[in-house]
Structure 1
Amino acid sequence: MDRIIFHVDVNSAFLSWTAVKRLKEDPNAVDLRTIPSVVGGDVKTRHGIVTAKSIPAKKYGIQTAEPINSALQKCPKLVVVPSDFQTYREYSNAFIAILRSYSELLEQVSIDEAYLDVTTLKYVYPAEDFPLNVAKMIRDEIRENLGFTVNVGVSSNKLLAKMASDFTKPDKTHTLFPSEVQEKMWPLDIGDLYGCGKKTAARLRSIGIRTIGDAANYSEELLISQLGEKSGEYIHRSARGIGSDVVHPERDDPKSYSNETTTKNDITSANFDTDMPPIVRRLSDKVSGRLKKDNVFGGTISVQVKTEEFKRFSRQLKLPVSTNDADVIYDNAMKLLGELLTGDDGLFEDNIGIRLVGVGVDHLDNGEFRQGNLFDWMTTGKEELRAEKEKQEKEDKLSQMEKSIRDKFGDGLIHKGL
């Protein structure tokens, strides 16, 4: 039986959720969704990246992930609002709760999107209501109860459902079944194919593949020769609409833990010793806290930096014993950063400034196979010797007391307790 998969995606989630909150607090406030506006950060602290944009802002050519300063140059009257993660979590939880009321086969893939397998609902709703009217019911319930809109993509697999949800927005339902791929998907630019990154798309255009249909009709062997086996096979299959129809109700356990932050000022060789340690300490504490909360340990410490030219560099170190200790993470992260930045041929040799720092831990385990190090064994041994010595001293004192009593009062006075 063909599955019926929904991909439900919140329209401009961060911006929409901020707008809804503001309208609740002040019904006369301007709806951020109706004017050129973006969610970004404080330009003064250099957290100035667009994380969400309104449709009017998009008309000015403003892109997600571009610097706020650049967006303001395109639209001087642009309204910039800060991030509000507490609000995002609240609305995300409410959004997922509504989806789950339709089907327990729900796979949340991010804070604002999820796949929903609604196949069995075909036995609940009349044929004329399924699946488009069910998708409309979901959209209506979210809009009326939560105040924001979603797009719903409908298909028989997750790839096509995801592609469909990205069609015209906002507050729309689109289908993209295998029988519609040639008409609706093949004319799209190759860069619009889900999972086809910018570099892959550029490579494909360089060999004459400009649309998804071009890729679908291109030889798989030739795609592999240009992109490698994994990427070539993926592009060939996905361009033809082939994808998984399995919705995983539970998200996979994290394979790594990391935190990163944009620095207030560029870190250079001149301020490395003063500015870097507190940043790394804060990041290490955060990573450690998350590891301890989940009761896991990491065997590899990694660091990454982003330069003022937005280039990323990283280093990693395998530990002899896995850890979730903040001090261990901090010490090794600082060592790696020292090698990456200040060591021989370090980035500071070329007078490069650092604007972002990240600390991570991976190669996780649950502690079951951790081996105690030499210090642990030495410490344990010392404690055991100290306890044995104290026990012996107590027994010696007791024996001396018993001897004194016998010498004074005779042997019949002391009896051992039962």
Structure 2
Amino acid sequence: MTPRWIAHLDMDAFYASVELLRYPQLKGLPVVIGGRREHQPQPGPDGQLQFARLKDYTGRGVITTATYAARAFGVRSGLGLMKAAQLSPDCILLPVDFEAYRAASRRFKAAVREIAPVIEDRGIDEIYIDLTELAAQREGVAHDPLGGLKQLAQDIKNNVRGATQLTCSIGLAPNKLLAKIASELDKPDGLTLIRPEDLTVRIWPLSVRAINGVGPKAAERLESLGIHTIGALAACDPAWLIQRFGKAYGAWLHESAHGRDDRPVITHSESVSISHETTFERDLHAVRDKAELGRILTSLCEALAQDLAKKKLAARTIGIKLRFEGFKTVTRDQTLDAPVFEARAIRHAAGLCLKRVDLSLRLRLMGVRASGLQATPLQSVRSPLVKPRPRISIADLFDP
């Protein structure tokens, strides 16, 4: 039977690496991505670019990604920018540029497909690749029977670097679970192969958090039970895990700790929903900040319409997400009589959703979501004028 080989390819500090191509003078310096437009570098009196610093940032933004030099200070993605400023005040701050990142993403995936076409897209900076058939065609040598497989992975890395000038890390393993773990072991620019016999030496000493699917809460509970490593988890009786974590999750924990995973590489999947949201720099009030909130809602709807157009999709359901002061989150959906894909129609449906929410509290986040997706109809279909529920008059501030 042909052995199964799956690769997980993860671009190294992807957003930051794309920015370093634009600003090579920042190579080796601590840099974080997550600023606003006003944090664009500006020419100084001497003509040299002047970069914003974390110590000058105010607001509640979070880090999208950070260079490895910044990570050495404990700065990481998801950390609040102002908290990061306490760790590394002189760290350079750059705004996000998703168009540039998406363009680089398309280039690296095209480079991989030139060599290995069986790909599962897992986001802007990572993919799974089924290398089983290609690896079988590559011969190894007596002292390294997997040399052909490793050279195949190296060829993919070289092709990615040639197409993007960026590095990636690849994990090779018999399944997706182990390949994902392996890709993190030797970053950046790593190439790590995990065989079943390597499990006890390379995988079991790792933290339980190394398993994709063990989140902070599950890890905290496992650690409270004295289980800190994957090896300790593997030693647990499966019935004991099921008793404490439930039938499905407990059984999955046992299987994962033993490196067992039979999930296929899925080369195509239908979009379930598409959404855009933004967190405000300050809490906004529906009365005092009516104009600003209206502009934000319109911008989110326009971005959503652009995504639908790119994917040639229309939506039967439009929803909103609002997070208020105190972190109370509310969602509302509006299912329409006909699918929509134009910004104006999406904006109208989002406005109808807003009319069903009490907007007396200040807002800190707003989002718009499209679901019930289907192929775009030949002609533009506008949202039907559904009669809103006559509840909160303050919602009339957001005219649909």
Coarse TM-score class (shorter-chain normalised): 0.7 to 0.9
One-letter code aligned to 2:204 = W
Contact in 2 for aligned 1:7/1:113 (Cα 8 Å): yes
Q: Which residue of 2 aligns with 1:39?
A: 33
TM-score by length of structure 2 reads: 0.79
Match runs of 1:292-331 below 5 Å: 292=309, 294-307=311-324, 311=327, 313-319=329-335, 321-324=337-340, 326-331=343-348
Using the TM superposition, give the Cα deviation of residue 157 of structure 1 relative to its aligned residue in structure 2, in angstroms: 0.7
Distance 1:244 1:272, change over 3 A: farther
One-letter code aligned to 2:254 = H
Q: Which residue of 1 aligns with 2:366?
A: 357
Work out the CA distance in 1 between the residues paired with 2:345 and 2:155. Answer: 52
- Which residue of 111, 115, 119 corresponds with 2:124? 111
Distance 1:277 1:30, change over 3 A: closer
How many correspondences in the alignment? Answer: 355
Distance 1:231 1:301, change over 3 A: farther
Contact in 2 for aligned 1:302/1:316 (Cα 8 Å): yes
Matched, 1:192 2:193: no
**Percent identical residues:** 28
- Which residue of 83, 91, 102 corresponds with 2:104? 91
Q: Secondary structure at the match of 2:17?
A: helix
One-letter code aligned to 1:38 = V
Using the TM superposition, give the Cα deviation of residue 116 of structure 1 relative to its aligned residue in structure 2, in angstroms: 1.5
Tell me which moved more, 46-55 or 74-83. Answer: 46-55
One-letter code aligned to 1:48 = G
Work out the CA distance in 2 between the residues paired with 1:337 and 1:206. Answer: 43
Contact in 1 for aligned 2:31/2:69 (Cα 8 Å): yes
Work out the CA distance in 1 between the residues paired with 2:240 and 2:196. Answer: 24
Work out the CA distance in 1 between the residues paired with 2:277 and 2:115. Answer: 37
Q: Which residue of 2 aligns with 1:60?
A: 73
Work out the CA distance in 1 between the residues paired with 2:247 and 2:337. Answer: 36
Match runs of 1:335-354 below 5 Å: 335-342=352-359, 348=361, 353-354=362-363
Work out the CA distance in 2 between the residues paired with 1:278 and 1:337. Answer: 14
Using the TM superposition, give the Cα deviation of residue 66 of structure 1 relative to its aligned residue in structure 2, in angstroms: 1.2
Q: Secondary structure at the match of 2:122?
A: strand
Using the TM superposition, give the Cα deviation of residue 167 of structure 1 relative to its aligned residue in structure 2, in angstroms: 0.8
Q: Which residue of 2 aligns with 1:215?
A: 233
Q: Which residue of 1 aligns with 2:26?
A: 30
Distance 1:304 1:145, change over 3 A: closer
Matched, 1:79 2:92: yes
Contact in 2 for aligned 1:40/1:47 (Cα 8 Å): no
Q: Which residue of 2 aligns with 1:405?
A: none
Structure 1 gaps of 5+ residues are 24-28, 377-418
Residues 257-286 of structure 1 show CA distances to partners (whole Å, capped at 9, x for unaligned) of 211123243113543533322222222233
Q: Secondary structure at the match of 2:26?
A: coil
Work out the CA distance in 2 between the residues paired with 1:146 and 1:286. Answer: 26
Using the TM superposition, give the Cα deviation of residue 49 of structure 1 relative to its aligned residue in structure 2, in angstroms: 1.9
Contact in 2 for aligned 1:156/1:245 (Cα 8 Å): no
Contact in 2 for aligned 1:300/1:322 (Cα 8 Å): no
Matched, 1:7 2:8: yes
Work out the CA distance in 2 between the residues paired with 1:87 and 1:3. Answer: 35
Using the TM superposition, give the Cα deviation of residue 255 of structure 1 relative to its aligned residue in structure 2, in angstroms: 0.6
Matched, 1:263 2:280: yes
Contact in 1 for aligned 2:61/2:281 (Cα 8 Å): no
Using the TM superposition, give the Cα deviation of residue 145 of structure 1 relative to its aligned residue in structure 2, in angstroms: 5.2
Using the TM superposition, give the Cα deviation of residue 61 of structure 1 relative to its aligned residue in structure 2, in angstroms: 0.8
Distance 1:92 1:296, change over 3 A: closer
Contact in 2 for aligned 1:72/1:78 (Cα 8 Å): yes
Contact in 2 for aligned 1:41/1:47 (Cα 8 Å): no
- Give 1 or 2 for the bigger CA radius of gyration: 1
Work out the CA distance in 2 between the residues paired with 1:312 and 1:178. Answer: 46
Using the TM superposition, give the Cα deviation of residue 115 of structure 1 relative to its aligned residue in structure 2, in angstroms: 1.4
Q: Which residue of 2 aligns with 1:49?
A: 62
Matched, 1:149 2:167: yes
Residues 102-125 of structure 1 show CA distances to partners (whole Å, capped at 9, x for unaligned) of 211122211111112222233443
Work out the CA distance in 1 between the residues paired with 2:71 and 2:30. Answer: 8
Work out the CA distance in 2 between the residues paired with 1:285 and 1:21. Answer: 28
One-letter code aligned to 2:185 = F
Using the TM superposition, give the Cα deviation of residue 189 of structure 1 relative to its aligned residue in structure 2, in angstroms: 1.4
Task: Kindly report the root-mean-square deviation, in angstroms, between the aligned alpha carbons of the 2 structures.
Answer: 2.8
Work out the CA distance in 1 between the residues paired with 2:60 and 2:166. Answer: 26
- Which residue of 230, 244, 250 corresponds with 1:226? 244
Distance 1:15 1:194, change over 3 A: same
Residues 153-207 of structure 1 show CA distances to partners (whole Å, capped at 9, x for unaligned) of 0101111111100113111111222222222112211122111111121222233
Q: Secondary structure at the match of 1:114?
A: strand
Work out the CA distance in 1 between the residues paired with 2:148 and 2:311. Answer: 41
Work out the CA distance in 2 between the residues paired with 1:312 and 1:57. Answer: 33
Work out the CA distance in 1 between the residues paired with 2:30 and 2:226. Answer: 37
